[in-house]
């Protein structure tokens, strides 16, 4: 009669051990980030130290305005040190700051591509600077739209309970590896929170540490998703039956001078097949500089394929 209860107790105990182990290994690397101005405190959030020499990953909205404000970073073991903003990227809501002293602890990055819906995750914050706050839950979905309308690849939605002071803190898997950066709570969406995947953060961090900003390519087009008939796709040898229809141009952009026309349906850029506007964003997100040469853009025009060469420019701020 008591076997099911014993099983439940064992399962709960295993769950508790997993969460406690994560907190003990990663908690000391989770920091409080406070912004201070001439009139006193100007906001706070959390972050996670990821190198021993004091680089800290957080949200852009936590570090916003920090070039004009003083930053203070506090660790749970009692260390408080000044820090400066290395760079930020509003499109992903990520920022890097660096402390003036070495970090007493740092956390390893994991692999967010391996996350699965239903997997245990733990969110850790440090809103007050002297102790960690912890919430545990499961991954509930892996997609979301960014503030500028882009689909952020593999964005992590979970049922982990967060509060605003935990923004910028890490989302951690059961092995103690950082798999995301907690970034948003959707008001009215009870029990949902969102995190930027660490695979996205790795790329952003590398850009910020190298140049202080994230460079993205820009063509200067407005476009919309457009289905193609399967018969046309087969005749043209396409493996997909959709593309992106060009509807307009920004005259400052390179596409306006490229020979691309309104009504063209883009089906490939470089080696990336294009089925939706999100595919265009992915290609341009990986673009670095004009010296990389033109991108070959393949379009359907008048039911035939044609190729154009376009050299992207850096996206305007």
Please give the positions annotated as active site. 61, 93, 167
Q: Which two tokens stand for residue 111?
A: 């692999």
Nearest residue to 182 (alpha-carbon basis) of 139, 118, 130, 131: 139
DSSP code, position 116: -
Residue with tokens 């839950």, as numbered in its chain: 137
Round to whole Å and give the CA distance between 24 and 22.
6
User: What gap in Å lies between CA 182 and CA 104, rounded to an integer?
Assistant: 22
Cα distances from 145 to residues 70, 123, 171, 177, 309, in angstroms, run 32, 21, 19, 25, 29
Q: How many angstroms separate the Cα of 186 from the Cα of each of 116, 164, 191?
A: 22, 11, 9
Q: Give the Cα separation of 169 and 48 in Å (integer).
A: 6
Question: Taking the alpha carbons of 62, 63, 64, 68 in that order, is the dihedral positive or negative?
Answer: positive
CA angle 190, 181, 72 (to 5 degrees): 110
CB-based contacts of 231-234 (< 8 A; 24+ apart in sequence): 232/300, 232/303
């Amino acid at each position: 009669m008591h076997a099911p209860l014993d099983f439940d107790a064992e399962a709960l105990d295993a769950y508790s051990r997993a969460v406690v182990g994560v907190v003990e290994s990663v908690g000391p690397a989770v920091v409080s980030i406070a912004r201070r101005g001439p009139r006193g405190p100007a906001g706070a959030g959390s972050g996670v130290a990821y190198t021993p020499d004091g680089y800290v990953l957080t949200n852009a909205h936590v570090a916003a305005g920090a070039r004009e404000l003083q930053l203070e970073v506090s660790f749970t073991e009692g260390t408080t040190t000044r820090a400066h903003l290395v760079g930020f990227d509003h499109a992903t809501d990520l920022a890097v700051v660096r402390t003036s002293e070495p970090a007493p602890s740092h956390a390893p990055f994991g692999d967010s591509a391996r996350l699965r819906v239903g997997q245990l995750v733990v969110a850790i914050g440090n809103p007050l600077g002297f102790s960690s706050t912890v919430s545990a839950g499961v991954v509930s979905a892996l997609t979301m739209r960014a503030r500028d309308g882009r689909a952020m690849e593999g964005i992590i939605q979970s049922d982990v309970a967060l509060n605003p002071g935990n923004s910028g803190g890490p989302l951690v898997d059961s092995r103690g590896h950082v798999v995301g950066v907690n970034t948003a709570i959707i008001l009215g969406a009870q029990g949902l929170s969102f995190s930027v995947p660490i695979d996205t953060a790795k790329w952003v961090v590398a850009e910020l540490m190298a140049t202080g900003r994230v460079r993205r390519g820009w063509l200067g087009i407005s476009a919309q998703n457009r289905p193609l008939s399967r018969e046309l796709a087969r005749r043209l040898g396409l493996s997909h039956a959709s593309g992106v229809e060009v509807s307009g141009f920004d005259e400052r952009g390179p596409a306006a001078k490229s020979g691309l026309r309104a009504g063209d349906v883009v089906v490939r850029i470089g080696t990336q097949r294009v089925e939706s506007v999100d595919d265009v964003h992915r290609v341009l997100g990986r673009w670095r500089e004009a010296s990389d040469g033109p991108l070959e853009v393949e379009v359907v025009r008048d039911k035939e394929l044609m190729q154009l060469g376009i050299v992207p420019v850096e996206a305007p701020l």
